[in-house]
Amino acid sequence: MRTAIITVGKEVLTGKTINTNLATISRKLNEIGIDVNRSIVIDDIEEEYYNILDFCDSDLIIFTGGLGPTIDDITRETVIDYFQVETYLDKDILKDMKNYFDRINMKMEDTNDKQAYFPKDSIILNNNLGTAPGVIFKADNKTIVLFPGPPHEMIPMLEELILYLKNELKIKLYSKGFRMVGIGESSIEKALTGFYNKHPLVNVAPYAGVGELKYVFTSSNKKALMETMNHFYDLFNEYIYGNLEDTLEGVIVKKLAEKNMIISMAESCTGGLIASKIVNVSGSSKVFKESFVTYSNEAKIKHLGVKEETLKTLGAVSEEVAYEMAKGTSKKTSADIVISVTGIAGPTGDTPGKPIGLTYFGLSHMGVTKTYRNIFNGNREMVRIRATSFALNLVRKELFK
């Protein structure tokens, strides 16, 4: 099924808006085995629609943008004109639109009426978050899809399109995935030699972020999907922290709450990032009460009882200081589990034997304090984000032991 995605809008062409719709739609189509062959961004000029539609020999053509109520929004009428399909006025949609304008206390202009005209035999995709409904219709043996541009309006309609296509193409597809931390995509791919050949029925797709990773598995064969995922899990379970909808901090907060445990932290180079991640989980107040950002030596001594001697002889970025920071935080708080971080985020501050990215961690739990060491790549911000993911993963592994 040759597929084209056509994005309409000056904002994307001028670079004011980054075209995330392309990636969102492509990934979803990819999961049901449809490859996008071309993606085109055009200006909202009638002639351009005709040029592009003349050019596209695709079976599935998806437009996003230009469906709104203003006179600049010409996608629906232009595409309908191009394919010369018959239309009708959908009175329910018209009523819904009037209600919407009432709700937001605005007068509905006559120009808005045009949004309620649809090709005969089309499938209408309701828009609960805006005024412009989407639509799927057939013309010239092609499937034409019109989506609004704003991602939060488009995404629910995309789900409907996927269901439609699965049904239309008699695709029964299952899709699941893992979220992972503590390992890079290249290391996984190296370890997967032979894996792909063993599982030809399943599409396996990695998506990399900074300090994190997800793997999505898709197949029409449920049994093959489960076998592939089980095999993958056996290989990498120590790095897998949850399903696609999970977050690392969310998994930790949930587990802490189950175990009735309190977490605290002492942060130097991460400077509050770890605490901030935990606080971003709604309901974290049950498991998090307080933490320290101790960036200077004096603060480490004063608040956490790190020994001046240790700082002097071994330096702030050392295993011993990470150990004492964690110990001190345990003493100063009622936390059941404590993580501490001290490292060199760069771009300056490295010394012989202590490169940029070098970071030590302390983990206190049940009276025992362990230390960990790692070197992170990237600029200052990336080192700090990677150290944060690493620290959260240490906590996770401890909690799930």
Which residue type, as a one-letter code, is found at position 321?
A: V
Q: For residues 93 and 315, which CB has a smaller minimum distance to its own copies in the complex?
A: 315
DSSP state at residue 288: B
Using CB under 8 A as the binding rule, whether residue 84 contacts its own copies is answered as no
| Minimum CB distance to its own copies, residue 51 (Å) | 8
Q: Which CB atom, from 23 or from 201, has the smaller least distance to its own copies?
A: 23
CB burial of 332-369 (b: ≥16 within 10 Å; e: otherwise) equals bbebbbbbbbbbbbbeeeeeeeeebbbbbbbbbbeeeb
Which residues have C-beta within 8 Å of that of residue 247, sequence separation ≥ 6?
Answer: 179, 281
Residue whose CB is less far from its own copies, 227 or 336:
336
Q: Build a one-symbol-per-residue string for 24-63: x at contacts with its own copies by CB under 8 A, - elsewhere.
A: xxxxx-x----xxxxxxxxx----x--x---x--------
**CB-CB contact of 174 with 218 (8 Å):** yes
Q: Of the listed pieces 58-66, 108-116, 169-177, 266-274, which binds its own copies according to CB under 8 A?
A: 266-274
| Shortest Å, Cβ 333 to its own copies | 8
Of 226 and 257, which has the nearer Cβ to its own copies? 257
274 binds its own copies per the rule CB under 8 A:
yes
Q: Is 185 in the site for its own copies (CB under 8 A)?
A: no
In the structure encoding, which two tokens stand for residue 335, read together? 């936390």
Residue 131: CB minimum distance to its own copies, A: 18
| Residue 184 engages its own copies in binding (rule: CB under 8 A) | no
Pairing of strands 240-243, 212-219: unpaired
Amino acid present at 222: K
Q: Please enumerate in sequence order all residues whose Cβ is within 8 A of that of 366, keeping only pairs 6 or more positions apart, or say none.
A: 336
Is residue 116 within 8 A of residue 90, CB to CB? The reply is yes
CA atoms within 13 Å, Cβ hemisphere of 156: 12
Least separation in angstroms between CB 148 and its own copies:
19
Cα R_g (the chain), whole angstroms = 27
Contacts with its own copies, 3-22, as mask; x by CB under 8 A = ---------xxxxxxxxx-x
* Calpha distance 395→175 (Å, rounded): 29
Count of positions (residues) in the chain = 401
Q: Which of 105, 21, 112 is nearest to 67 (CA)?
A: 112
| CB of 30 or CB of 371, closer to its own copies | 30
Q: Return the range that interacts with its own copies (CB under 8 A); candidates 59-67, 130-138, 219-227, 294-302.
A: 294-302
Kindly state the smallest distance separating residue 45's Cβ from its own copies, in Å: 9
- Footprint of its own copies on 210-239 (CB under 8 A): none
Task: List residues binding its own copies (CB under 8 A).
Answer: 12-20, 22-28, 30, 35-43, 48, 51, 55, 205, 207, 267, 269-276, 278-280, 282-285, 288-296, 298-299, 302-303, 333, 345-348, 380-381, 384
